[in-house]
Amino acid sequence: MHPAFSVIFLTTLIGAAQGLFLALFTTQTYAAFKLLPQPDAHAFYGQGSLLALVLLVAGLVASFFHLGHPERAWRTATKWRTSWLSREVIVLPAFMGVVFLYGLAHWLDWHPLLMTLPGELPLDPTAILGVAGTVLAFALFLCTAMIYACLKFLAEWHSPLTVINYVLLGGASGFSLAAAFAAFTAPELVSFLAGWAAIITLLGLFGRSASLYRNARLKPKSTLQTAIGIKHPRIVQKTQGFMGGSFNTREFFHGQPIAVLRGIKWFFMLAVFPLPLLLLVSGMQGTMGLLVAAFVVQYLGLLAERWFFFAQANHPQNLYYQSIA
Amino acid sequence: MTQLALVIDLNVCVGCQACVTSCKEWNTAGSAGPMVDQNPYGADPTGTFFNRVQTFEVGEFPNTETVHFPKSCLHCEDPPCVPVCPTGASYKRKEDGIVLVDYDKCIGCKYCSWACPYGARELDEQQQVMKKCTLCVDRIYDMSMTEDDRKPACVKACPTSARLYGDIHDPESAVSIAIRESGGYPLMPEWGTHPANHYLPRRKTRIKIHEDELERADNPLKVDRQLPKPAMSEPTLDDVTTW
């Protein structure tokens, strides 16, 4: 497939935002159980939610560049019964709304006691919003990944690993960002967040390696024989029917030599996993520069990872577009 | 229930591209148009087509066959492009099974083209909506045309009658008989899309010539006592008269 930068930015930006929100609410939950010191709610949760919101808006803006008719985007909410894309379009604004309210409640110090849970656990609106946001964050990971995973023709995507990796890679970049952000706003949380970022990055390494291993061993279900229905083992396309390009030759081919593909794979395998891991572990004591570098390197790596994700998918329609004459 | 479809006979398609140009001519002026070309006279021309004729070589020299392969939307009975559409712009008509795109609802997200294993959908670069074969839906129901003209433009254009058109759910239709009796098959059956369009395979064409077809049966030895016997090198009656 031809990797579209609009979608690359959409999926990586909102993935990081979802991970960041999950990191914020994980911290709040730990703090509620007194497993972590209570950070400055204004700075950490309030500004953290704002940061997540900025990433979500940036992702949403990027996604509009993928559309031929952005002014009709509102129509996409109508077919949620059948289309994962439609579901994503519903869940994304819902998640943005909850992140906004969650951040606002913390920003305004709006903590009226709704009830006390067993174990002297106070329940305020931010906890309810946090749970709702967590559910929506995972729902959004599921929707985004299922857009690709549900396409059975694209064998490289049609796997539970796609969903697992969207969750893990979004989570890893979000927790890295949270660790870097905490270095500025809540230094006492850095080691906790950087630790989790490292763990999720490590899990992501396993998940992505598993999908690379799987994809390298895929056998295409469709062949030229089934594509035109002729059983002979040797079929060669002489012409695809036209001399110039078409939508079919632009949209479904990445157009890069195999060396570029391989180079990008090795770049992201380094930049998404071992390098940030190293930076996170060495920055665990709160070194701002190292933590920011960890997130930046990981995010750049994720851009390459997403590019590769699209480029690697081999669409069966390509069988029909092999030769120009 | 009706399922309109094309049946394409690969045995007689000669790859003349008449269906391609006829399709483009009709549809660029019809309700599905315009089918925009970009840079048509430049170095890298591109444009929207609903129908393409491709050419494949089967076998190894000298035992090869050239197969011309017309390719358009197959109007699948279980179209994978329809459920993925987030706006409902892509739909399959219940009354005749034609898969269509509502250009007023399409947002140009290209997701349906990803979900089509056949590459039958093309985004129009100027209108920025997804386009595909409509089976000439603006033609086949046009009562101002004679019944013979109420067929897709490609079917009308084919000089070798390689394209049949009809209802594949009607067991007595010409297309159903062709599929049944000439080994009609769908493309990429492995995906379970159940394409409505079918293809008829290449067949060996053999002619059995009998002796009496070479010599006149009513006068096999050119023996005629009443007239001077013509020399064998002279033209026969068949060659000099039209009767």
Count the Cβ atoms, other than its own, within 10 Å of residue A258: 7
Q: Within an 8 Å CB–CB cutoff, is residue B159 touching chain A?
A: no
Whether A50 and A42 have beta carbons less than 8 Å apart is answered as no
Give tens-digit pLDDT for A174-208.
999 999 999 999 889 999 999 999 999 999 999 99
- Per residue in B66-75, is it b (16+ CB within 10 Å) or e — as a string? ebbbbbbbbb
Task: Pick the more confident residue, B119 or B229.
Answer: B119
Write phi, then psi, for A56 (nearest 5 degrees): -65, -45
C-alpha angle with apex A70: A65 to A73, nearest 5 degrees?
120
Tokens 């920055």 found at: A283
CB contact under 8 A, B85 and A224: no
Confidence of residue B208 (pLDDT cuts 50, 70, 90): confident
DSSP letter string, A258-272: HHHHHHHHHHHHHHT
Average pLDDT along chain A:
93
pLDDT at B204 exceeding the cut of 90: no
pLDDT at B14 exceeding the cut of 80: yes
- Position A324 scores a pLDDT of 80
- Position A114 scores a pLDDT of 81
C-alpha angle with apex B25: B28 to A227, nearest 5 degrees?
90
Which residues 239-268 of A are in CB contact (within 8 Å) with B?
239-248, 251-252
- Position B30 scores a pLDDT of 84
pLDDT at B32 exceeding the cut of 90: no
CB contact under 8 A, A69 and B129: yes
A250 CA to centre of own chain: 25
B236's CB contacts (< 8 A; 6+ apart) are: B216, B222, B230
Return the closest-CA partner of residue B155 out of B87, B238, B72.
B72
Joined together, the tokens standing for residue B16 give: 């003349």
Return the SS3 of A158: coil
Of B21, B69, B91, B126, which to mutate for an interface test with A (greatest number of A Cβ within 10 Å)?
Answer: B69
DSSP letter string, chain B: ---EEEEEETTT-----HHHHHHHHHHHHSTT----EESTTSSS-EE--SEEEEEEEEEETTEEEEEEEEEE----SS-THHHH-SSS-EEE-TTT--EEE-TTT-----HHHHT-TT---EE-TTT-SEE---TTHHHHT-TTS-GGG-S-HHHHH-TT--EEEEETTSTTSHHHHHHHHTT-B-S-GGG----S-EEEPP--------HHHHS-TTSTT---TTSPPPPTTSPPHHHH---
- Position A313 scores a pLDDT of 94
Whether B91 and B111 have beta carbons less than 8 Å apart is answered as no
Whether A18 and A98 have beta carbons less than 8 Å apart is answered as no
Write phi, then psi, for A121 (nearest 5 degrees): -90, 110
Chain B residue with the nearest C-alpha to that of A240: B54
Find chain A residues with C-beta within 8 A of B23's C-beta. none
- Position B205 scores a pLDDT of 80
ipTM: 0.90
The CA distance from A58 to A64, in Å, is: 10
The CA distance from B68 to B150, in Å, is: 26
Task: Give Cα separations from B214 to B221, B234, B237 (angstroms).
Answer: 11, 16, 14
Whether A239 and A312 have beta carbons less than 8 Å apart is answered as no
Confidence of residue B159 (pLDDT cuts 50, 70, 90): very high
The CA distance from B224 to B227, in Å, is: 6
The CA distance from B92 to B102, in Å, is: 11
Average pLDDT along chain B:
90
pLDDT at B221 exceeding the cut of 70: no
- Position B233 scores a pLDDT of 80
The CA distance from A57 to A14, in Å, is: 8
Instruction: With a cut of 70, list the residues of chain A below it in pLDDT.
Output: 325
- Which whole number is the average pLDDT over B192-217? 84
DSSP letter string, A23-87: HHHHHHHHHHTTSSPPP-HIIIIIHHHHHHHHHHHHHHHHHHTT-S-GGGGGGGGS-TTT-HHHH
Give tens-digit pLDDT for B88-141.
999 999 999 999 999 999 999 999 999 999 999 999 999 999 999 999 999 999
Across the interface, of A147, A230, A248, the residue whose CB is closest to B119 is A248
- Position B216 scores a pLDDT of 63
CB contact under 8 A, A241 and B46: no
CB contact under 8 A, B54 and A320: yes
Find chain A residues with C-beta within 8 A of B201's C-beta. 229-230
